[in-house]
A = this chain, B = another copy of it.
């Protein structure tokens, strides 16, 4: 009987191993995808793309049995060669090729010149050729940084006693009402795609005290803006036994304080590739909604239109104001008007026209919505009744409260938006692997 005993040691070496090991002058085995070929006459440079970056290989025509003409960009290969130090090569090393084995050949020339430092093509072209455009080093780096943000979120919350949960995306009724739901038939029953794990994570506070989830959410909103997606990854948490709704914002601040050093430590290469300046997270100002509106109106001499909501332009101005006056990249805007928040939001006992809720703005864009929730069964039912909503379909949610729930609250962070603002991108689709919007369902 044959057995598998664990991960096999690979003969081919990765870039970090080549850089840190003692391989100078020695023969090494490598593999990768041909990112670019620069033919200089006697010699050609074959740049291989590997997961850790680019590796320069030197192809000396007179010593190779392989014909350079048979080597195409986008081919994948395995090769042997001798490692030499070379200051001008990426990472300071290059491989003098001795033997090439082609693993696969492309059948057509690339539709985009991915080996350019910046892909100078339209966003649409990038998205239409996603499997190709992401091979560009800068495009790819965005999603490594996105990975770092998700890692930071999870690691930080594990350390803070949160439990990771997996809640269903197919449901019978949504958490925030019916307008923006994708609907379909589930074995002859009407079903929806969940627009948020809201109800589930609240129910699970009664079980685990603190929970989080990193999963897709679905919104059938007909907005087609630079900051809207119809499917996105939501970083959600919910925590019980709050002393105050500020605990939630303090926890999010803690996450950011954990994630930024993590990026600096483990994603330094990608931060450099994209020339990212990490935001300041030592202290994040907190301002009331009505106060923020007033400040912006006064400072920028702007007329307030809608007293109940922040317009995107107002969010930008708040971001600008807090950058100018406090050097702040982030600002918590608190106490949103009750009528603009969902029924489960906890009203401020001092003035129930406002809620114990907040948004977090990052460089002028909302990346988080959160707040304290109603935990008392009667209060919850009263609010549902006051809004003339039906309890139908919410029985399971309400039951959790019937059988006792601690004071709690939480938030949801849009992962793609957070990445977008961190990288200074202009469109959220730039930081979405395969965006879904009003017009885009493929690839």
Residues in A lying within 8 Å of B, measured CB to CB = 1-8, 10-12, 14, 31, 33-34, 50-52, 72, 74-76, 78, 103-108, 110-111, 129-132, 134-135, 140, 143-144, 146-147, 150-151, 154, 158, 160-161, 163-172, 182-187, 189, 191, 193, 200, 203-204, 206-210, 215-216, 218, 220, 222, 230-231, 233, 240-241, 243, 246-247, 249-251, 253-254, 257, 282-287, 326, 332, 375-378, 396-397, 399-400, 402-407, 415, 433-436, 438, 441-443
Residues A377 and B107 in contact, CB atoms below 8 Å apart: yes
Among residues of B, the one whose C-beta sits closest to the C-beta of A288 is: B2
Given contacts A207-B140, A403-B74, contact A160 B107 (CB under 8 A): no
Given contacts A33-B406, A147-B163, A434-B167, contact A283 B5 (CB under 8 A): yes
Given contacts A104-B375, A441-B172, contact A132 B7 (CB under 8 A): no
Residues A434 and B151 in contact, CB atoms below 8 Å apart: no
In the assembly, how many copies of this chain are there? 2
Q: What is the bound-complex CA distance between A363 and B12, given in angstroms?
A: 35
Q: Could you tell me the distance in whole angstroms from the C-beta of A412 to the nearest C-beta in chain B?
A: 15
Q: Could you tell me the distance in whole angstroms from the C-beta of A139 to the nearest C-beta in chain B?
A: 8
Among residues of B, the one whose C-beta sits closest to the C-beta of A207 is: B134
Among residues of B, the one whose C-beta sits closest to the C-beta of A184 is: B184
* The 8 A-B residue pairs with the shortest CB-CB distance in the complex, in nearest-first order: A396-B443, A184-B184, A74-B404, A7-B254, A131-B400, A106-B404, A51-B209, A3-B283
Residues A135 and B206 in contact, CB atoms below 8 Å apart: yes
Question: Majority SS of interface residues in chain A?
Answer: mixed
13 more contacts with CB within 8 A, not counting A3-B286, A130-B203, A170-B231, are A3-B285, A4-B246, A4-B332, A5-B253, A7-B251, A51-B209, A103-B375, A132-B400, A143-B165, A166-B415, A191-B441, A193-B193, A216-B216
Residues of B near A75 (CB, < 8 A) are 404
9 A-B residue pairs with CB within 8 Å: A1-B286, A3-B284, A6-B250, A6-B257, A129-B399, A131-B207, A168-B433, A168-B434, A168-B435
Q: Pick the contact of A103 from B2, B251, B407 — CB < 8 Å?
A: B407
Residues of B near A415 (CB, < 8 A) are 166
Q: Pick the contact of A442 from B3, B167, B396 — CB < 8 Å?
A: B396
Q: Could you tell me the distance in whole angstroms from the C-beta of A61 to the nearest C-beta in chain B?
A: 23
Q: Pick the contact of A108 from B105, B131, B402 — CB < 8 Å?
A: B402
Q: Could you tell me the distance in whole angstroms from the C-beta of A113 to the nearest C-beta in chain B?
A: 12
Among residues of B, the one whose C-beta sits closest to the C-beta of A375 is: B104
Q: Pick the contact of A250 from B7, B144, B209 — CB < 8 Å?
A: B7
Among residues of B, the one whose C-beta sits closest to the C-beta of A158 is: B151
Residues of B near A158 (CB, < 8 A) are 151
Given contacts A5-B282, A143-B163, contact A396 B131 (CB under 8 A): yes
Given contacts A76-B241, A104-B375, contact A4 B284 (CB under 8 A): yes
Given contacts A10-B243, A104-B375, A250-B4, contact A208 B140 (CB under 8 A): yes
Residues of B near A161 (CB, < 8 A) are 14, 51-52
Q: What is the bound-complex CA distance between A110 and B189, given in angstroms?
A: 30
Residues of B near A12 (CB, < 8 A) are 241
Residues B131 and A147 in contact, CB atoms below 8 Å apart: no
Most chain B C-beta atoms within 10 Å of own C-beta, residue among A240, A404, A441 = A404
Q: Could you tell me the distance in whole angstroms from the C-beta of A214 to the nearest C-beta in chain B?
A: 9
Most chain B C-beta atoms within 10 Å of own C-beta, residue among A105, A166, A231 = A166
Q: What is the bound-complex CA distance between A325 and B424, given in angstroms?
A: 60
Q: Pick the contact of A434 from B129, B200, B375 — CB < 8 Å?
A: B200
Q: Could you tell me the distance in whole angstroms from the C-beta of A172 to the nearest C-beta in chain B?
A: 5
Q: Pick the contact of A182 from B111, B186, B332, B433 — CB < 8 Å?
A: B186
Q: Could you tell me the distance in whole angstroms from the C-beta of A333 to the nearest C-beta in chain B?
A: 12
